[in-house]
Amino acid sequence: MIIGPKYKIARRLGASVFEKTQTQKFAVRQEQRGRTTRPKAKSDYGLGMIEKQKARYSYGITSKQFSNYIKKATDMRGNSGDHLISLLESRFDNVALRAGFATTRQAARQITSHGHLTINGKIVTIPSYQVKIGDIIGIREGSKKKLIFSTLDERMKTLKIPAWLKMDFEKKEFTIEGIPTSARTELMFNVGSVLEFYSR
């Protein structure tokens, strides 16, 4: 997915949706910018659009992909917001990031699409693949000595993994033990505003 100037996009959205903007320097600049510029009033549509963009860029997906997730979430029974988060968190590249196999979302997309990771022992090269409870995510045997995994041992020692992932330190494998999700307070976007935007 071609994104464009990340700093400019993050400033426009008012959120550090990219890894390179999640720094103290960026936060300070945003705060200083807020003091010197008067924010323009936005319509409800404009505010909804911003929340949608925050969500898209947070997970690194296209507008069409995101629309498909919205449709699937709203077609499911129960809380559409919870379903949407679960669908996004269940993406193979997102799980690779949460498990610590990669340090950035872009790197997670790369290692999944290049076939460095397996699901239940089989190579899967689709970053958007939806993992399921019981799936075991591991490193392809031929990729274990690759430079991209050279610091994995150290990262795994201090890794804070979600409750729905179970780590096997020796095998460097992770098992999906629950429905992938994320607390809404940890998200960079408002789920309710996003769903309302699409319901117009």
In the chain, the domains with their CATH numbers are 6-77+188-198 (1.10.1050.10), 91-176 (3.10.290.10)
Q: Give the 3-state secondary structure of residue 105.
A: helix
In this prediction, residue 184 carries a pLDDT of: 87
User: Does the CA dihedral 69-75-81-83 come out positive or negative?
Assistant: negative
Mean pLDDT by 10 residues, the chain (200 residues): 55 58 56 55 82 91 95 96 97 96 92 97 97 97 93 88 93 95 89 92
The pTM of this model reads 0.80
In this prediction, residue 2 carries a pLDDT of: 43
DSSP-based helix, strand, coil % in the chain, nearest 5: 50, 10, 40
**Residue (of 58, 48, 50, 83) closest to 68 by Cα position:** 83
What are the structure tokens assigned to 29, written together?
């600049």
The most distant pair of C-alpha atoms in the chain lies apart, rounded to whole Å, by 55
The CA distance from 159 to 162, in Å, is 10
Residue 94: CA count within 13 A, CB half-sphere: 22
In this prediction, residue 43 carries a pLDDT of: 81
Q: Strand 117-119 to strand 165-168: parallel, antiparallel, or no bridges (unpaired)?
A: unpaired
The CA distance from 156 to 176, in Å, is 17
